Amino acid sequence: MKVKVGINGYGTIGKRVATAVNQQDDMEIIGVTKTRPTYEAQLAIQMGYPLYVPADKVDDFKAAGLDIAGTVDDLISKADIIVDCTPGKVSGEYKEAYAKAGVKAIWQGGEDHSLTGISFNAAANYKESWGAQFSRVVSCNTTGLLRTLYPIDKNFKIKNGYVSLIRRSADPNDSKAGPINAIEPVVKIPTHHGPDVQSVLPWISIQTMAVKVPTTLMHIHTVVLELEKETTTEEIIKLLKETPRVKLVKAKDGVKSTAQIMDLAREIGRTRGDMFEIVVWEDGIKVVGNTLYYYQAVNQESDVIPENIDCIRSMCKLEEDPAKSIAKTNKAMGI
């Protein structure tokens, strides 16, 4: 018996989670939701996903000639688990409906930790979501930070972390967001990213600052970590090479920017040209005294996708061993 997964909000994250779920052998998509009869709704139907819509929008979809399978409430009543990929601060609205139907639900990083009380990263705290009714996969940036901070802390103990985030201002399919010709600092310090890392690893001391820049491809983090245990540049390179979902590249091989990273993802045949791994520049890693410096890049549209799959496995008690779930997800997704 496969776990029945519904996607509420078939947008940037929702459509990727749908693809990844159907690549696994222990779960399947039973339906997705859209609020408007857009090209994405048409594509969902073409992909063979039963389409569910809000009760007050049924007529809009019928008028647009789209075949729907039922209402959002119908999908909620049929699913074992809903992956809620509605825009940030919207999905809290559905909590009551999920609770009433007794269905499990995963929210994304646009929601606050307080909505679920549990936040998820596969390597760092898989077991905290074990059997839970509600959990939350942290945002793209927080997932990126946790992927490298967790193994470094485990091996060398982070005393203090200082991270500057250079954030893409819009996703590639978004023609409304900006800035398009400016650099915009987030003046509230620390930005939400540091406290969000602490929602998974509460003992980590970390300060974060962020600026938005006019690009759509990826975020970049510049990371400075004071470590308690002595280490070397070579040891850190070895550790990150062995870390799942972290990929090392070299500027000296021509991977000088986010443009070449996304080209790499397309060339290796990834679905939608996605780079699910956090990409660290090997020749940009340096240990000086007890301080480690490195740069990493985050493909915001896709790094959280494998985490959603592992979160489903933990919440639905499909695999107790985090490492086995990570390996299974990676194999199925070609990571």
Q: Which residue, 46 or 242, has its beta carbon nearer to ligand NAD?
A: 46
Q: Which residue, 156 or 306, has its beta carbon nearer to ligand NAD?
A: 306
The structure tokens 């870390």 sit at 243
CB of 178 to ligand NAD, least distance (A): 15
DSSP state of 252: G
Q: Which residue, 155 or 173, has its beta carbon nearer to ligand NAD?
A: 173
CB of 244 to ligand NAD, least distance (A): 19
Cβ(61)–Cβ(55) below 8 Å:
no
DSSP state of 6: E
CB of 292 to ligand NAD, least distance (A): 26
Q: Which residue, 153 or 307, has its beta carbon nearer to ligand NAD?
A: 307
Residue 255 has which token pair? 């991977």
For 312, the 3-state DSSP assignment is helix
CB of 115 to ligand NAD, least distance (A): 10
Pure H helices in 243-304? 258-267
State the Cα–Cα distance between residues 195 and 321, nearest whole angstrom.
27
| Residues that bind ligand NAD in the complex, under the rule CB under 6 A | 8-14, 33-35, 85-88, 90, 108-111, 139-140, 171, 300-301, 304
Cβ(79)–Cβ(3) below 8 Å:
no
Q: Is 140 a catalytic residue?
A: yes
For 29, the 3-state DSSP assignment is strand
Q: Which residue, 300 or 330, has its beta carbon nearer to ligand NAD?
A: 300
CB of 89 to ligand NAD, least distance (A): 8
Residues 6+ apart with CB under 8 A from 238: none
For 240, the 3-state DSSP assignment is helix
Q: Enumerate the active-site residues.
A: 140
